[in-house]
Amino acid sequence: ASLISANLTAASLREANLELADLRTAILIGTNLTEADLNGVCLRSANLSEADLHRAILTGADLSEAILNGADLSRANLAGAY
- Per-residue pLDDT tens over the stretch 31-47: 999 999 999 999 999 99
Confidence grade of residue 82 (pLDDT, cut at 50, 70, 90): very high
Q: From CA 22, how far away is CA 68, in angstroms rounded?
A: 17
Confidence grade of residue 18 (pLDDT, cut at 50, 70, 90): very high
Q: From CA 13, how far away is CA 73, in angstroms rounded?
A: 15
pLDDT at 51: 98
Closest CA to 46 of 63, 31, 70: 63
CA distances to 9, 24, 54, 61, 65 from 74, rounded to whole Å, are 20, 22, 5, 16, 20
Rounded average pLDDT over 16-28: 98
pLDDT at 73: 98
Q: From CA 3, how far away is CA 80, in angstroms rounded?
A: 22
Exposure of 23 in the CB half-sphere (CA atoms within 13 A)? 28
Per-residue pLDDT of 36-77, as tens digits, reads 999 999 999 999 999 999 999 999 999 999 999 999 999 999
